[in-house]
């Protein structure tokens, strides 16, 4: 006998085979995307992203730090994600596990590899003092597709962020100026279920996925890939997936720019 989850999974699967979805979306449709900014008043930039019932807050804080020895004249980017127990009955308190680590690192690479941030301009004193850009992803409600929601929130929070002045050895948070973002990396996860592709998977749909690829595009370049879950893809499937993601990220980028 199947339990409720299994029955739901089977329904989701049956629907997708017929080109339909449980919530009547088209296979390549996202749920409603809502983006709100200024949600965390102490952050220098923040954004809340909702994809249906999935809800993520991203906050950006600036701080002063010592640069890495191999990049003495560059600011530092740090991305952290917490899958706290609030977001799901299955999450536990404690240090970030594999899922949170992967989430943070995929978002990090999207920003880093796209050279979205002007790291050289974030150097205050070579080898001594550079700005740290600290991006914290806080998951509030988890109904699938954390990757796309988090990447979108991070991009928006960075776009919105204002950098404090640094005067007389102190960070002056009351004085800020605009923080330039060179590129806007946006992620889209393409999910294979049987011989179909779907986008923006709900929690149930993630469970029945045969594999997923999170593709991060800037306006005109592919800057990060991450295949997730079990299952495999042929080369032709991958090339299709990159194109599907490209189109969708163009649309998502418009929402936050």
Partner 1 sequence: MKKDKKLLKNGKRIDGRGIGDLREMEAEAGVLERADGSGYFRMGDTEAIAAVFGPRELHPKHKQKPQRGILQCRYNLAPFSVEDRKRPGPSRRAKEIGKVAEGALSSTVFLEEFPTATIDVYMEVITADAGTRCVALNAGAIALADAGIPMKGIISACAAGKIEDTPVLDLKGEEDQGGQVDLPIAMNADTGEVTLLQMDGMTNIEEMDEMLELAIKGCEKVAKKQREALMKTF
Question: Residues interacting with partner 1, by CB under 8 A?
Answer: 39-43, 46, 53, 55, 57, 59-61, 63, 80, 82, 84-89, 93, 95-99, 101-102, 104-105, 109, 112-115, 134, 136, 138, 140-143, 173, 211, 213, 218, 220-235, 238-239, 242-243, 246
Closest CA to 84 of 147, 143, 46, 137: 137
36's tokens: 């709100």
81 alpha-carbon distance from chain centroid: 10
Question: Residues near 145 by Cβ (< 8 Å), separated by ≥ 6?
Answer: 51, 54, 189, 200, 201, 202, 206
- Of 74 and 252, nearer to partner 1 (C-beta) is 74
- Of 4 and 18, nearer to partner 1 (C-beta) is 4
CB of 177 to partner 1, least distance (A): 18
- Of 19 and 219, nearer to partner 1 (C-beta) is 219
Closest CA to 211 of 195, 192, 224, 198: 192
Alpha-carbon span 86 to 18, nearest angstrom: 35
CB of 155 to partner 1, least distance (A): 16
CB of 215 to partner 1, least distance (A): 9
CB of 2 to partner 1, least distance (A): 11
CB of 102 to partner 1, least distance (A): 5
Alpha-carbon span 46 to 57, nearest angstrom: 7
- Of 198 and 245, nearer to partner 1 (C-beta) is 245
Kindly state the greatest CA–CA separation across the chain. 70
């Amino acid at each position: 006998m199947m339990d409720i989850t299994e029955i739901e999974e089977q329904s989701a699967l049956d629907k997708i085979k017929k080109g339909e979805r449980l919530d009547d979306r088209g296979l390549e449709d996202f749920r409603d995307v809502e983006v709100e900014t200024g949600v965390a008043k102490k952050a220098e930039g923040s954004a809340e992203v909702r994809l249906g019932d999935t809800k993520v807050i991203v906050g950006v804080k600036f701080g002063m730090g010592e640069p890495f020895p191999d990049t003495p004249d560059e600011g530092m980017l740090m991305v952290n994600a917490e899958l706290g127990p609030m977001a799901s009955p299955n999450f536990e308190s404690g240090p970030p596990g594999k899922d949170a680590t992967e989430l943070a690192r995929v978002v990090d690479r999207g920003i880093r590899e796209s050279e979205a941030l002007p790291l050289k301009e974030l150097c205050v004193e070579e080898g001594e003092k550079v700005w740290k850009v600290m991006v914290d992803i806080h998951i509030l409600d988890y109904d699938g597709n954390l990757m796309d929601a988090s990447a979108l929130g991070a991009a928006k929070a960075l776009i919105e962020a204002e950098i404090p002045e640094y005067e007389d050895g102190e960070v002056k948070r009351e004085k800020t100026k605009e923080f330039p973002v060179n590129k806007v990396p946006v992620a889209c996860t393409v999910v294979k279920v049987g011989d179909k592709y779907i986008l923006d998977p709900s929690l149930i749909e993630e469970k029945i996925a045969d594999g997923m690829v999170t593709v991060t595009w800037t306006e005109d370049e592919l800057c990060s890939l991450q295949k997730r879950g079990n299952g495999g893809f042929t080369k032709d499937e991958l090339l299709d997936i990159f194109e599907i993601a490209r189109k969708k990220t163009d649309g998502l980028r418009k929402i936050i720019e």
